[in-house]
Structure 1
């Protein structure tokens, strides 16, 4: 499925921000119902990271939940924050390296999604994601749907970059009880998978 159009992405940010007042009222009502006791924590999806502003107003710890894992989100974040692909014309190379994510080797410009290839920091799409990612950094911590040993590089990046709490809390499977999540039984048992993993070097 292609990325949404620029107008849709722009209206998405406006839609997100329009939810601030109702969300603020929700938290206020919740505190009133609990006789003045605020919630311990507010956890929001990365596209609802603006919830951190409301949490801060009420002195509540806020955490971002990234359901897609650490490595992919880290690389997406790094590329959009730094836009290193914009340097390729002067570097006379189509190989791109992220200046603040050295753990990743260079990639070819053709491996970038069209969204990131066209981003220059001034277009509406990169402005939209720039605002979203800025909001992400306001949270008190980030929860990643991953395992520490599998995505240490991505987790380390965010610990270094934002200097806040970063936890791996996965894997979280929302497949309604179906282990494969695709409407059929998984092809191998978990025991076979573990045995295979045990044969790999650490």
Structure 2
């Protein structure tokens, strides 16, 4: 909790400045829309007597998984690597304790206390805005609406608003090389970037793949790359923003979740939507690439579902689409609350 605690302290330091700024505004705001981890915004909303709406950059499946885990405590009776079923969900979802977010790890000092404060803060919020769209996870949207009393607004994918660990990385790099297919490898290894670049040079990886590979060290325009018609597959850690960008682009994925809610997201795209292929160990990466790229019936069906989801995602953001309607519904709701307050 060291760096996390420091980040939370930095978040709290914003409260006074924000409230001072709000005091000067004329007219006053009708609501506060804040990230779920900014707990102090609940106090600010009470002070100014306006509703507080939480923004969550994840999805309703993640929300429902956390909800059933918190109230069922089903994970407490199983071993670290033992699979268990999350009860009460629209689909049969299995996880292990080692795949759960930090909030469900009792060994992390201070996490339980923070989680209790987070849940209390969320229960006091007027509603929640989610970066997802109804057609992507309708069953989980419906279930979460029941939990939150219909105060859930799915307004994504927000990425459509912008149209205009070294050894393991090294072993993974050999899989696309062995596949004999053209590929793009974006290397973002943080403080280990120099070590990766040295390996690429010394091992001759760049020279061997220069005729069919594009190596990018640093940032790359992911959405632009995914939208290119030549891209047939993508390796992802299953961060939700990346998942949404892949859905919008209609590109099948190979999933490689690492921690937190990424394991939830993998269940959605692999098991529920069936547009992705999962792999557990680096040696299985080559097989996963072939599965995503295959021309057989299963591969064609996977790409077909990915393209269909892309069309649905874009329609959701258009005028009259589900996310557009939800944004309108949210605005009208806040207007009505402002009238009641006056």
Alignment TM-score, normalising by the size of structure 1: 0.70
Matched, 1:18 2:5: no
Going from structure 1 to structure 2, the CA distance change for 1:53 and 1:169 (only over 3 Å counts) comes to same
Q: Deviations over 1:123-170 (max 9, x none)?
A: 422332332233222221111111112122332333222325111111
Distance in 2 separating the partners of 1:80 and 1:176: 35
Of residues 24, 34, 42 in structure 1, which corresponds to 2:32? Answer: 42
Distance 1:41 1:114, change over 3 A: closer
Counterpart-to-counterpart distance in 1, 2:116 and 2:72: 10
- Whether the 8 Å contact between 1:141 and 1:165 is mirrored in structure 2 is yes
The superposition leaves residues 102-128 of structure 1 with CA deviations (integer Å, 9 ceiling, x where unpaired) of 3242413166147356x1388422332
Cα distance change of structure 1 residues 79 and 187 upon mapping to structure 2, 3 Å threshold: farther
Unaligned runs of 5+ residues in structure 1 are 1-5
**Equivalent residues in 2 for 1:1-202 (5 A)?**
6-30=1-25, 34=26, 37-80=27-70, 82-88=72-78, 94-99=82-87, 101-109=88-96, 112-113=99-100, 115=102, 119-120=105-106, 123-163=109-149, 165-173=151-159, 176-177=162-163, 181-182=222-223, 184=225, 186-188=227-229, 196-197=307-308
Secondary structure class of the residue paired with 2:152: strand
Q: What is the count of residue pairs matched by the alignment?
A: 182
Which residue in the other structure is 2:238 paired with? none
Bigger relative contact order (CA 8 A; separation at least 6): 1
CA deviation string 1:10-39 (max 9, x = no partner): 333333333322222222222xxx1xx321
Structure 2: gaps (5+ residues): 165-220, 230-247, 251-302, 310-342
Q: Which region of structure 1 is more displaced relative to structure 2, 145-154 or 183-192?
A: 183-192
Please report the RMSD computed on the Cα atoms of aligned residues, expressed in angstroms.
3.5
Equivalent residue number for residue 234 of structure 2: none
Give the TM-score normalised by the residue count of structure 2.
Answer: 0.44
For 1:102 and 1:195, locate their aligned partners in 2 and report how far apart those are by CA, in whole Å: 23
SS at match of 1:154: helix
Q: Within 2, Cα distance between the matches of 1:126 and 1:43? A: 25
